[in-house]
Structure 1
Amino acid sequence: MTLFDPPAPLAERLRPRSVAEVVGQTHLLGPGKPLTRLLHSGRLGSLILWGPPGVGKTTLARLLAGEVGAHFIALSAVSAGVKDVRDAVAEAERQRARGLRTVLFLDEIHRFNKAQQDALLPHVESGLLTLIGATTENPSFEVNPALRSRARTLVLEALTPADIRALLERALSDERGLSGVTAQPEAFELLARLAEGDARRALSTLEVAATLANPVTPEAITEAFGRHLPQMDRNGEDFYNLISALHKSVRASHVDASLYWLARMVEGGADPRYIARRIIRMAAEDIGLADPQALRLAVAAHDTADFLGHPEGDLALAQAVVYLALAPKSNSVYVAWGEALKAVREGESLPIPLHLRNAPTSLMRAQGYGRGYAYYFDDPEGSFAQNYLPEGVQLNLYAPTGEGWEARVAERWRKLKDAHGEGEGGPG
């Protein structure tokens, strides 16, 4: 071996050689579990392996193909196209002539577009190809329904700290690992926590740390690990789950959690302007008239983040998030608007009452447009008494809460409903 023929990375060298060597995923590989039953039956069907990075999706696909004696073809959807699929099909036909089945492993299957995924369908359906797709994204959104219906989706879980420690210990004891290297227990404890369930990250960090200190120390682990950016695919499920966590924390008035999820998004590389738009939505949906200043502050945070950029503008986002989390909450306008849209979409398109119509011409006035309209400032009582909805339509949409500033709105709303003759003084 020379400088021009370096050894494979530690994570690659330590790939399990059999299903028995796989660490973690006991919910799939334990006694009586789904993959165990499949292997015992000898009938491996098409699968979609969904899970975070570094949990063994590629390794598991290779091992499953080996366990059933199938020919294995690996493609990455990042670089492969329809031509590569055609080549795989041709290879599978040659293998079938020899009496062998073919497993096509497609890594990052979510990066194949609809046409590329459709190209797989007839060959999966005929049984020529047993497809094993791997993805970090939710297959419900990223894999075509037709292809998804022909494959069983299995969820792989992030490895536990105990799983990671077991892999790290194997790296020092296995002949394929780091010969002559030892590590302090505290170093393994730290790395097992920092790795966040990603075996590849843990082994790669250990490999670098072993060049810095032997025995490996927590300090060497920290130096090798470097600055870690939180995992977040800016177009994937994690991104929208982070937004969901931020929104729900603000809605629940949990300030610390709101700041934490905001920091996760910012550090993960989310566009501050997108975050700011979502914060404006929170102010309108969940704070509403309980604190009308919230919407103004949210819009100001958006303008500030856009003007200053990252990282200076991030502080304005943090200020808005703290304000919104602390603010009283009301979704009364949000609910009322939804009910108004429902009434319009499900109801008839009834004519506008004549007295409410605009009458800019003499012809319109002759037809009765605007006739009988009571102008509020000339006749407040008459203005309250006239009808403002189409004939026969009765609606009760807005119901203010007693939260914050909206408590004052609720009192005025009750008085207005009395003046309009709607009910007996109570909103709603």
Structure 2
Amino acid sequence: MQPLADRLRPQQIDDMVGQSHIIGKGKILNKLIHNKSIPNMILFGPPGTGKTTLANIIAAITGKKYVKLNAVNCGVKEIKEVIDATKIDLFSYNGIILMLDEIQALNRKQQQSLLEVIEDGSVTLIASTADNPYFVVYKAILSRSTIFEFKPIQKKDIFKGLKRAVDKFEELYTYETINVEEKALEYISETCNGDMRSALNKLELVFNTGIDIASNSVNITLENVVECSSIKMLNYDKGGDDAYSIMSAFHKSLRGSDADASIHYLARLVKAGDIQGITRRLLCVASEDVGLAVPQAITITQACVASALQLGFPEARIPLAQATIYLAQCPKSDSVIKAIDVALSDLDNIEIGDIPFNLKDAHYSGAKDLGRGLDYKYPHNYENHYVKQQYLPDPIKDKNYYVPCENKNEIAFKQYWNSIKKGE
């Protein structure tokens, strides 16, 4: 039997749930479809958010022949066969719409085979992918396409779609009574991770387990839904856009000193099992964003990281959470990263000059004859272990790479050195 999600697939744009930012009334994609002015487009976003459904609706509205291929199991040969077939079908149809699922599965050569028909307008390409197209789609295709991002469907819209499905049960099934608890639909909406197809599949599973043959009835209860539910899956591909976005949110929450958000994103990363990604990010934050505001932060973080790597999951979550909360609450300073990045930039962009002769290595025969190290002053021979001398090369001798931030530790160091150097 055809899956419930396919039997209930919307036939009109008004029946779709979610994506109101692009298909809502007055929005760009809604206008294009209404005017039947369909450009080549790339639809990207998580599974079950309506990409294929929208392509079906576009093909039906425009009256174009609809050809669908999945890039996972097709290559240049299959694509060329479709392209050759269009030369015949163009006379009997108002053009061709080629729906290409999972376009990221095609290599560059395979993607290039699409360019000819995209260029002459004989085929309108609608490609879909769960990955960021700027990472996986050939640039020549990107430049000839309009990109639309599909977002995870909100809980309220998933619930609306489930209610619509329930309303159609009487048309689809012949059972005498069908009882559905609203809490059951709410639970499915909460745990399907913004995936309408997943929500409908779960509803169908619960429906089939709730059949009572004796009374010719069906009962869909919260208890049944929980019993049928597997662990909620999160969108996370270590090499994909979702992974980078979660990691980015984790780092920015730590930098922003939001312990609650930091722990939330840590939980996502723990759920995905990405212990290497977590530990690298924590160590980076300890120096990049906390730095000299709390110099011991890197040591404490390293201890937590070492413990996590030794423990492994699930116990690793505990020291990782400890480091996360600690770093989120630490005072912040970016003086370290600014200093090194400016210094690196100078190496590439300005004349930096030669190392001063008094600092050059003098531990070899003939060094003195070359003037190496002759005027070097050994700081420990002076009061406060400090003596004024030039360390930077002449062209940049007055450069200030390190600029202290306003925090307790750096202010204290600044005041100390100001008092030592005041007599210069």
User: TM-score higher than 0.5 here?
Assistant: yes
Equivalent in 61, 64, 68 of residue 58 of structure 2? 64
Q: Give the whole-Å Cα distance in 2 for the aligned partners of 1:383 and 1:354.
A: 19
Contact 1:14 1:177 in 2 (8 A): no
Aligned to 2:179: 182
Hey, what does 1:389 align to over in structure 2? 392
Give runs of aligned pairs for residues 323-362 of structure 1, distance below 5 A: 323-362=326-365
* CA–CA distance in structure 2, aligned partners of residues 379 and 352 of structure 1: 23
Q: Is 2:8 the partner of 1:14? A: yes
Amino acid at match of 2:159: R
Cα drift, residue 20 of structure 1? 4.1
| 1:9-408 correspondence to structure 2 within 5 Å | 9-96=3-90, 98-174=92-168, 177=172, 179-180=174-175, 181-213=178-210, 214-270=218-274, 272-379=275-382, 384-393=387-396, 394-408=398-412
Task: Indicate the SS of the match to 1:48.
Answer: strand
Task: Give deviations 1:270-295, integer Å, cap 9, x for gaps.
Answer: 2x022101110000101112222211
Separation of aligned partners in 1, 2:286 and 2:74: 44
Which one is further off, 187-196 or 7-16? 187-196
The root-mean-square deviation of aligned C-alpha atoms, in Å, is 2.3
Q: Compared with structure 1, are the counterparts of its residues 324 and 276 closer, same or farther at alpha carbon in structure 2 (3 Å cutoff)?
A: same
Measure the CA separation in 2 of the matches of 1:79 and 1:415: 73
TM-superposed CA distance for 1:357, in Å, is: 0.9
Secondary structure of 1:134's aligned partner: strand
CA drift of 1:405 comes to 3.4
Displacement after TM superposition at 1:387 (Å):
0.9
Amino acid in structure 2 at the alignment position of 1:211: N
In 2, Cα distance between equivalents of 1:278 and 1:32: 42
Q: How far apart in 2 are the matches of 1:179 and 1:403? A: 72
- Cα deviation for residue 416 of structure 1 reads 4.7
Alpha-carbon distance, 1:98 to partner = 4.2
- 1:204–1:396 CA distance, 2 compared to 1 (3 A): same
User: SS in structure 1 opposite 2:219?
Assistant: coil
Deviates more, 1:52-61 or 1:178-187: 178-187
122-131 vs 107-116, which moves further: 107-116
1:115-163 deviation per Cα after TM superposition (whole angstroms, max 9, x unaligned) = 3322222221122321101122222333232211111112333333333
- Cα pair 2:249 2:265 within 8 Å, conserved: yes
Q: Distance in 1 between matches of 2:152 and 2:209?
A: 28
Compare 78-87 and 27-36 and name the one that shifted more: 27-36
The CA distance in 2 between the partners of 1:66 and 1:205, in whole Å, is 28
Task: Give the Cα–Cα distance (whole angstroms) in 1 for the partners of residues 249 and 21 of structure 2.
Answer: 27
1:156-213 CA-to-partner distances (Å, cap 9, x unmatched) read 3333333322322232232664553330122222222223332111111111112333
Asked if 1 retains the 8 angstrom alpha-carbon contact of 2:384 and 2:420, the reply is: no
1:386 Cα deviation after fit: 1.5
Query: What SS class does the counterpart of residue 278 from structure 1 fall into?
Result: helix
The question of whether the paired residues in 2 share the 8 Å contact of 1:276 and 1:302 is answered with yes
Post-superposition shift, 1:333?
1.2
Relative to structure 1, is the Cα distance of residues 364 and 318 closer, same or farther in structure 2, using a 3 angstrom cutoff? same
Distance in 1 between the 2:351 and 2:165 partners?
Answer: 71
Aligned-partner Cα distance in 2 for 1:367–1:44: 75
Cα distance, 1:29 vs. partner? Answer: 3.4
- Tell which deviates more after alignment, 308-317 or 278-287: 308-317
**Higher mean Cα deviation, 307-316 or 62-71?**
307-316
Shift of 1:253: 2.1
Q: Which residue of 1 aligns with 2:416?
A: 412
**Cα 1:178–1:165 shift into 2, 3 Å:** farther
Shift of the 44–392 alpha-carbon distance from structure 1 to 2, 3 Å rule, reads: closer
Moved over 6 A (4+): none
Do the aligned partners of 1:273 and 1:305 also contact (CA within 8 Å) in 2? no
The percent of aligned pairs where both chains have the same amino acid is 36
1:426 paired residue number: none
SS in 2 for 1:106: strand
What is the CA–CA distance in structure 1 between the aligned matches of 2:248 and 2:407, rounded to whole Å? 24
Distance in 2, matches of 1:33 and 1:210, equals: 36
